[in-house]
Structure 1
């Protein structure tokens, strides 16, 4: 909280006319967010600050709209992510919200909430009920989102108050493993239509509980979001948005050990795959509070401003026994790595932007410029002991954490990392002809990392240390609309990312991408499609050690190339077909890794861990009548490597699902859904120990949803 006065002062110093961008929330031109399709005429959201549509922006952009989220049965925003081209997302506890996309993983994929870049640990999946849409931009996008983003950027957009007089919706669900959910949302006008000042409020609440397919694991999560939209004048509005999230897991699942010998395709004992080798009082807890103040001001028909002041406070607690391996003859499981840690984080910031439409040499042009200031502070308090024990997988007592030697209740601070970012950015869209347009932009960041050591100072770990970086990134792209329903584009973009610690001497990493693509409608508008081909190169960065997620490993260079396809087609008035496919070839171009015996081995030419070469999705939805709708879906994820040496693999998998919905009346519907129809045994995530983080077996769910 210590930075709030400074930010408030910064906010207050702005002239009154500098508070804001358009009064209404993001609008859609030509296509409703409730309609199926690729939404090519919807605002590109975070892909540009210029208000361009997806079609007009020379970049690969995918959006999971609210209707897509509901029709495809996404329970969390991470489920919604996995519907987007090329994305493979999961949430193993020690890795937070893990994303693989375009050959890159972890921090190389920026994850934002409402356009705000946050710490990776805050990206564990939250109930999808709270979100209006999920946006994806492929490749380097530091211009828009700041440091990072070499593989791409994701943005989770929360529902906000709208100018509807009154709207209410609710959902009840129950399914396998006592999975239960209750959620409701209410949007209401607080003033009479004739009032000089108009106020609209929205409240969303969701609660989810389940006992999990893993033995002893139980989860409970709450999410609450409130927003107040105030039209102070016809040209000035203010939105106050508050969010609270609380998640608690008992005995979190940390993975299933693989059988010996380890080599080639890794295997597990399927009879014991649901065993939980964590201690009985293992836990994961997270509490997050968001506050945003958004002021939109329209100066005139061509000029508008937006200012967003925000505060984020979070706390995450872990207390688990995390590593499990079979002994030589696979008769016993050796447990180790007793780890207790508290992560306390606070982020305060201000984003200001101006948009102006004008002409340049007689050509229509739109400008966007602004600045960003933010301070992100994270304090870690870890306790790590060996915690070695051996159990019989067929019969064992999980034990308790504080019975492990050298463990103790309470937290002792280790380090505080404070990152201060000041940035300036400018973006321009220029219509060169009625068919050809140019999009360009630059961003300058001044980033300072300040590390405070709360424990005993040493020569290698001083009491205080700082580092500073000043990267400049940008993007330039051309779009040619050769017919009204189809275009082609070419784009070049760059990215930069600072390391997160001063104890390991890493410089700022850099990335660049060339991309060509096309966005078009076909069959008289019944279908729409996108295609993109790209090459990304990255230098001087760090990756998470697959054997120890608390460490980073320096990498000299990495590259990827790939193709992404997506399409939506109304085959008949009753049949809708949607799908996407992504192929990527990713490899280390320069990477020397130190292995267990101290030797240094080159990993040049190897594929990074947890990067599937192919990812595909397909959905078929059929309206049997005005009251009945049904559908089937399929998802394919290719095999991945579990180690940098590429000697251990986890097999590919295919998942199938189906649903049927009955519309009781104009307000209420009932949906039955089956996930993983074939009861596939598969790993969502792989690392050396444990090697399998299992996905869910076959599950059933019934949900009732109403809108008024």
Structure 2
């Protein structure tokens, strides 16, 4: 009984991934076990925020759902998800670590409607949402600051250990964050200092593929006005393909100074160093996945990838009165990315041709795309806003925020594309990998300078206790200047190529009806813009065109029930995107006249059941299609756009078997997709099951057993080209020890 009482008071954050909250995509689901109707929400909420007593496992208590807590990702006015006329899901960092998610993408795709399109070329981070995919349509942010992809690549943040939570705003988010967010926005919120007590966490684990990880963090008050938080993590693995080793290292530190109750100054630094697996996927043989080559790596022996990212930020929040608040966030981010690989692999059929039409020796794998690439990116920015809250009339209140957002991005692209092409043919089952061929050298080829300046506003009028209207507006100017770099006579010359300015105005308006404090119905109309490629790498051929534009109509409901121990969300939407580049015939000019759309339904539910059981589930059904799109003389109208699964689902079950034992199991389902515009190359859908068992050895020490891909399903997470699949992890067992202090 004493042991039960000690354990039931534990802060879940200390477990760094033990107790399971199964809120797959349900906004704000907490990673804590619960007995239904045990109303100790306040105690557990303190534990979740790092204010517990240092023990390791939570049993029988759970905080109320975060749908009734302010969320800054979906609104700058401090609205709760119940007050926001949009779909917003939050994944708690402790829950992410409890499930054993290995990456930010793996964690994010537990939310409703999101799937992975990550590959080495985009830094292993790209997502698909609501029928749209890639860095140009699903925006990624860190602590509310947008990340500008270069050539479709983002490589930061690095490790789920550093995460406080991940917020997913579905649908157009351009009015909040600018271009490139028609499908949605994903905001990774990093861990913050605790201001009340010192606490620490540590974890060490080992598993299949000789995988090893170690992480630790500590934070708390250093004085009455100063608090701190420091975290470090290290991961390595041999991978599940030949020569598939990877490793990563991450550091973060935060200082929070409160010289006055009205003023908070937060200084933060983050570092990430990744060397991911040097595999670009598995070639299909006769159009099918051959399990005999599941663990083959067709890249060269000396292949290399490296991503190094550093970020520093300074945030000042001043609240001189209950009616006025001022905020300013300045930041600096650098990214150094490097690739040296032989990337494309294609099976040559008996006809002597690959699926892409290239010729080769029948019965071999043709290897090509000998690429050496480097990205050198620097990003500066500042966000400033002022918020006023006032009463307009009896029963009517108003909240208004006005702000500016300024960003500068300097990007240099290096490559060796002028090298002689390296093309060879290897036996798919036994071959010498060879070495990278570089006859020219990797050197700068072009550079760009991008400035993004925006003004924004958001307003909410509350008409009594039940009705509110929320609107927002953003005007943005993005200027891109590009220089071509050449080497006449061996001397570098930077020649100005062009300048292009994109001007966009986006807006949204919605209404919320709350018949009770825990139930809301909403509707919204929102507009957005997407770049034709990525803003920082606009090419000469795109100068005469503008951004693609889109709009969404959405309606839905959100409900908290059983005194916060259950939650449900439902959303229906339709998004239309216009301004796609299209070519009606081979001799026709390229025009910006194409259109595509997506319409669908998303639902999520989380429920605590008797006897320590819990269930969390979400599902998505959508219809995505090209409405009017022709390219190279081919009509793709009516086809499903590539990389878009039209059915998705997540299910998590939890059982608190005893006060010291928790078991959990998760199902992930991703429907079939296509890798091409014409729907000729189909990627099968898949379902995988993960399971884990956690045992508290003592109040401050726990043992975790995690089994991934229980049924050893061979499946493609995504594709790299039409005949080359990136496979998921095979069945793997990991063991970890976690400590809280």
TM-score by structure 2 length?
Answer: 0.85
List aligned pairs for 1:73-84, cutoff 5 A: 73-84=100-111
Shift of 1:204: 0.3
Q: 1:117 aligns with which of 116, 139, 146?
A: 146
* 2:660 is the counterpart of 1:627: yes
Distance in 2 between residues matched to 1:188 and 1:60, nearest whole Å? 33
What are the ranges of 5 or more consecutive residues in structure 1 without an aligned counterpart?
Answer: 1-25, 261-265, 544-551, 595-599
Q: 2:284 aligns with which of 258, 263, 267?
A: 258
Residues 387 and 705 of structure 1, relative CA distance in 2, 3 Å threshold? same
Higher relative contact order (CA 8 A, sep 6+): 2
- Tell me the equivalent position of 2:375: 343
- Tell me the equivalent position of 2:454: 423
Q: What is the SS of the residue equivalent to 2:106?
A: helix
Q: 1:299 aligns with which of 315, 320, 326?
A: 320
Q: 2:540 aligns with which of 503, 507, 516?
A: 503
Once structures 1 and 2 are overlaid, which stretch shifts more, 514-523 or 176-185? 514-523
CA distances 1:79-137 after superposition (whole Å, capped 9, x unpaired):
21011001112431013312111000011000111111112322467220011110001
* 2:173 is the counterpart of 1:141: yes
Shift of 1:629: 0.5
List aligned pairs for 1:163-178, cutoff 5 A: 163-178=195-210
Please tell me whether the aligned partners of residues 289 and 312 of structure 1 are also in contact (alpha carbons under 8 angstroms).
Answer: yes
Distance in 2 between residues matched to 1:565 and 1:542, nearest whole Å? 33
CA distances 1:535-594 after superposition (whole Å, capped 9, x unpaired):
001111469xxxxxxxx9977111000000011000115011001001111011122122
Once structures 1 and 2 are overlaid, which stretch shifts more, 445-454 or 615-624? 445-454
- Tell me the equivalent position of 1:7: none
Shift of 1:477: 0.6
* 2:634 is the counterpart of 1:609: no
Q: What is the SS of the residue equivalent to 1:147?
A: coil
Q: 2:486 aligns with which of 450, 455, 467?
A: 455
Q: 1:513 aligns with which of 541, 552, 557?
A: 552
CA distances 1:496-541 after superposition (whole Å, capped 9, x unpaired):
2344314123312111000000001234543110000000011114
- Tell me the equivalent position of 1:559: 597
* 2:261 is the counterpart of 1:223: no
Distance in 2 between residues matched to 1:124 and 1:169, nearest whole Å? 23
Q: What is the SS of the residue equivalent to 2:161?
A: helix
Shift of 1:54: 1.1
* 2:622 is the counterpart of 1:590: no
- Tell me the equivalent position of 1:333: 365
Please tell me whether the aligned partners of residues 255 and 690 of structure 1 are also in contact (alpha carbons under 8 angstroms).
Answer: no
Distance in 2 between residues matched to 1:525 and 1:113, nearest whole Å? 29
- Tell me the equivalent position of 1:99: 127
Distance in 2 between residues matched to 1:336 and 1:537, nearest whole Å? 37
CA distances 1:399-441 after superposition (whole Å, capped 9, x unpaired):
111xx3x5344x3211112210111111011111210001111
* 2:690 is the counterpart of 1:657: yes
Please tell me whether the aligned partners of residues 345 and 724 of structure 2 are also in contact (alpha carbons under 8 angstroms).
Answer: no
Shift of 1:456: 7.5
Shift of 1:620: 0.5
Please tell me whether the aligned partners of residues 91 and 124 of structure 1 are also in contact (alpha carbons under 8 angstroms).
Answer: no
Q: What is the SS of the residue equivalent to 1:79?
A: helix
Residues 295 and 82 of structure 1, relative CA distance in 2, 3 Å threshold? same
Q: What is the SS of the residue equivalent to 2:83?
A: coil
Q: What is the SS of the residue equivalent to 1:504?
A: helix
Residues 573 and 439 of structure 1, relative CA distance in 2, 3 Å threshold? farther
* 2:71 is the counterpart of 1:39: no
- Tell me the equivalent position of 1:393: 428
- Tell me the equivalent position of 2:702: 669
What are the ranges of 5 or more consecutive residues in structure 2 without an aligned counterpart?
Answer: 1-27, 31-40, 50-61, 351-361, 489-493, 583-589
Q: What is the SS of the residue equivalent to 1:414?
A: strand
Distance in 1 between residues matched to 2:631 and 2:92, nearest whole Å? 42
Once structures 1 and 2 are overlaid, which stretch shifts more, 112-121 or 628-637? 112-121
Please tell me whether the aligned partners of residues 254 and 690 of structure 1 are also in contact (alpha carbons under 8 angstroms).
Answer: no
Q: What is the SS of the residue equivalent to 1:200?
A: strand
Residues 36 and 674 of structure 1, relative CA distance in 2, 3 Å threshold? farther
Please tell me whether the aligned partners of residues 676 and 722 of structure 2 are also in contact (alpha carbons under 8 angstroms).
Answer: no
Q: What is the SS of the residue equivalent to 1:644?
A: coil
CA distances 1:243-286 after superposition (whole Å, capped 9, x unpaired):
01001246x110111122xxxxx412211121111010101001
Once structures 1 and 2 are overlaid, which stretch shifts more, 479-488 or 644-653? 479-488
CA distances 1:339-385 after superposition (whole Å, capped 9, x unpaired):
00110101001000111210124411111111011111211011124
Q: What do you get for the CA RMSD once the two structures are aligned? A: 2.1
Q: What is the SS of the residue equivalent to 2:610?
A: coil
Distance in 2 between residues matched to 1:148 and 1:518, nearest whole Å? 26
Distance in 2 between residues matched to 1:267 and 1:532, nearest whole Å? 37
Distance in 1 between residues matched to 2:507 and 2:144, nearest whole Å? 18
Shift of 1:493: 0.6
- Tell me the equivalent position of 2:18: none
Please tell me whether the aligned partners of residues 617 and 634 of structure 1 are also in contact (alpha carbons under 8 angstroms).
Answer: yes
Residues 663 and 479 of structure 1, relative CA distance in 2, 3 Å threshold? same
* 2:569 is the counterpart of 1:534: no
Please tell me whether the aligned partners of residues 221 and 248 of structure 1 are also in contact (alpha carbons under 8 angstroms).
Answer: yes
Residues 105 and 72 of structure 1, relative CA distance in 2, 3 Å threshold? same
Shift of 1:77: 1.4
Distance in 2 between residues matched to 1:172 and 1:581, nearest whole Å? 34
